[in-house]
Structure 1
Amino acid sequence: MEIADYIVASDGELAARVLEGDDHAFEYLFNRYREAIYRLFVQRLGRTDDADDLLQETFIKVYINLHRYNTAYTFGQWVYTIARNTFVDYIRRRQDGLPIDEHFAAPASSAPTPEERFINLQQRTQIEHYLERLTPRYRQLIRMRFFEEYSYEEIAAKLSLPLGTVKTQIHRAREQMCRMIAEGEQH
């Protein structure tokens, strides 16, 4: 696909290409929504220090769950929903026990269909491809944080590392993984 084709392709077309293994298409989707989602996080947080982390976490979730995208909604609505839910999770981790504005309430998830499980397996294979290219430490941190869903504090305790070190290394691992996905790293 030529660069001009990516630029004029609809979100749905790009999403379909990503599901077919075209990582360049994901880069174009990311670039279309990056700034709006980043601004959303900065607006909600009132600062920029965690907005980058939330943006990366959102787009990792978008990539992993792309097979669940329902074309009945615009792609932007779907990405926004993931960003909103990522923000809700962030607030819950930070202020455990405090009520959260119902405007940000996450919808209940449903069990995946057999087709979704198959596509999820394909996506997981692609993610595993990128994970294998990370250093063993980064790979372990990504698995613990995103697949086993440990909190930063739990990871720090399990690995006997300072909390700041865990946060920094997860941030770097996410950056590296996002860069590989965006660049279509295939080596």
Structure 2
Amino acid sequence: MSEVPNIHYMSAQFFQLLIKNWLTHIHYSKKYSNQVLIDFERLNWIPEIRPSIDHLEKYTFLPIKPKDIKKRLMSKKSNSSPGPDSITYGILKKFPCCHHFLATLFSKINESCIPPSSWTTCNVIPIYKNGESNDPANCRMIALSSSIGKLYHQILSGNLENYLIKNNIINSDLQKAFIKGNS
């Protein structure tokens, strides 16, 4: 005779999880739903930079090639957590036949300037930091978005960074972080 699961125990676990998620939602809704006004007068320490645009070449969206996809994927962890589409970088690495398709898709998105609406959604997961585990303030939220969307944005960001550096728009005396070769 097989053992019947304890329904009361399962209900209590489900109820605890439901309450915890509800409290987390209320906490973060209150914390991040308030509009914060920025006092731009306090930002006057930032020097005004007006690059000369006479020498600039026009920025064009370069066609994205399968080798660009492969190069970017090589720097990614294969077992990273997937977003709503459940596609990991590992899956994209294992199927190089998809690289040509993705390169075509990304180039078409550059032409139309309209990314897929599915890239605007993400899975938000609370990650426990420390302290009382029932207190939502002791969790930080992690947003897991589409791996394909992140891949596209990283390639686009790399192309834009190359353009800005090539045309001396980025002042390396002011900008040190997030630029290749600077630390």
TM-score of the superposed pair, with normalisation by structure 2: 0.26
Structure 1 or 2: more helix by fraction: 1
Which structure is larger by alpha-carbon Rg, 1 or 2? 2
Bigger proportion of residues as strand: 2
Q: TM-score, normalised by structure 1?
A: 0.25
